[in-house]
């Protein structure tokens, strides 16, 4: 829980947030009304400290509009936290920053949420804007295959539990909840029942396997709700 006094102090020292970078301003205002993630809380702690010391600077990263990086190495596109960025050298940093900003624009143009996962996912970047599998693309962890049987493993909202789904011949959906450590449980599931991990090399392969699973977007939405 972030003390209200710290949020108030940040706003008071930044012209009610107007002197903050766009992602930081939105994060602070969000924290006024609701709980933020652990990363968000860390950013606010850093903001309070740097503003108190007078070391906070408002500028775009590598002069790319909407792209910002704070002193903790967290990288933002507008208000969205998209990952961490470790400085290497000017030429490499410039190239990577340009590539990341281009990816952000592509995802925005499709109407896809910007997340660190989306930035790294080849499937999401190749997916068409009208894909019916948007929720599955953001949540899936892996495919397990045994002949014509396919189980799709998804991350759940708390990120400490996974959910495996398999469509049955009668149209019902069988599910397994997998607690941490998930790797050991999945390994046992595969070795005991003969399932194998299927490599996904892009959106075309993802669409092929998710279609073969006979799961529908509605099936997945119900299971993950």
Q: Do 110 and 150 fall into the same domain?
A: no
What is the pTM (predicted TM-score) of this model? 0.70
Distances (CA, A) of 162 to 18, 139, 225: 41, 10, 13
Domain that holds residue 162: 125-224
Query: Last residue of a domain, which of 118, 137, 164?
Result: 118
Inter-residue contact 56 to 47 (CB < 8 Å): yes
Between CA 119 and CA 191 the distance in angstroms is: 32
Q: Is the peptide bond before 171 cis (omega within 30 degrees of 0)?
A: no
How high is the mean pLDDT of the chain? Answer: 87
User: Average pLDDT of 74-96?
Assistant: 77
Q: Do 74 and 55 fall into the same domain?
A: yes
- Token pair recorded at residue 82: 């998209």
For residue 168, how many other CB atoms are within 10 A of its CB? Answer: 10
Distances (CA, A) of 153 to 30, 52, 136, 140, 210: 32, 46, 10, 6, 11
Q: Do 211 and 142 fall into the same domain?
A: yes
107-162 pLDDT, tens digit per residue, is 999 999 988 888 889 999 999 999 999 999 999 999 999 999 999 999 988 767 88
pLDDT exceeds 90 at position 58: no
- Token pair recorded at residue 12: 């008071």
Query: Last residue of a domain, which of 92, 118, 144?
Result: 118
Share of the chain above pLDDT 90, in %: 40
Q: Do 113 and 138 fall into the same domain?
A: no
Between CA 6 and CA 48 the distance in angstroms is: 6
Phi, psi of 111 (to 5 degrees): 80, 20
Q: Do 71 and 159 fall into the same domain?
A: no
State the first-to-last Cα distance of the chain, in angstroms, to the nearest integer: 26
Q: Do 99 and 151 fall into the same domain?
A: no
- The CA-based angle 109-110-115, given to 5 degrees, is 95
Inter-residue contact 189 to 175 (CB < 8 Å): no
Q: Do 76 and 177 fall into the same domain?
A: no
Q: Among 118-127, 175-184, 205-214, which range has the highest average pLDDT?
A: 205-214
User: Average pLDDT of 38-55?
Assistant: 85
Count of structural domains, the chain = 2
Which helix (H) or strand (E) element contains residue 213?
none
Strand partners, 144: 151, 197
Q: Do 97 and 195 fall into the same domain?
A: no
Q: Do 139 and 81 fall into the same domain?
A: no
């Amino acid at each position: 829980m972030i003390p209200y006094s710290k949020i108030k102090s940040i706003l008071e020292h930044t012209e009610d947030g107007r002197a903050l970078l766009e992602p930081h301003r939105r994060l602070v205002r969000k924290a006024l009304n609701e709980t933020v993630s652990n990363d968000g809380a860390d950013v606010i702690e850093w903001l309070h400290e740097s503003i108190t010391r007078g070391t906070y600077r408002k500028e775009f990263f590598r002069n790319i509009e909407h792209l910002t990086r704070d002193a903790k190495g967290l990288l933002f596109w507008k208000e969205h936290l998209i990952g961490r960025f470790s400085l290497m050298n000017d030429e490499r940093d410039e190239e990577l920053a340009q590539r990341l900003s281009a990816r952000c624009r592509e995802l925005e143009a499709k109407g896809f949420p910007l997340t660190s996962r989306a930035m790294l996912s080849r499937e999401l970047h190749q997916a068409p804007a009208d894909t019916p599998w948007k929720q599955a693309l953001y949540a899936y962890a892996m495919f397990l295959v045994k002949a014509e049987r396919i189980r799709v493993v998804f991350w759940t909202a708390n990120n400490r539990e996974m959910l495996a789904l398999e469509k049955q011949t009668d149209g019902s959906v069988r599910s397994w909840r997998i607690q941490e450590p998930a790797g050991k449980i999945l390994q046992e599931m595969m070795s005991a029942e003969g399932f194998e991990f299927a490599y996904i090399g892009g959106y075309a392969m993802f669409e092929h396997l998710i279609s073969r699973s006979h799961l529908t977007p509605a099936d997945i939405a119900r299971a993950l709700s």
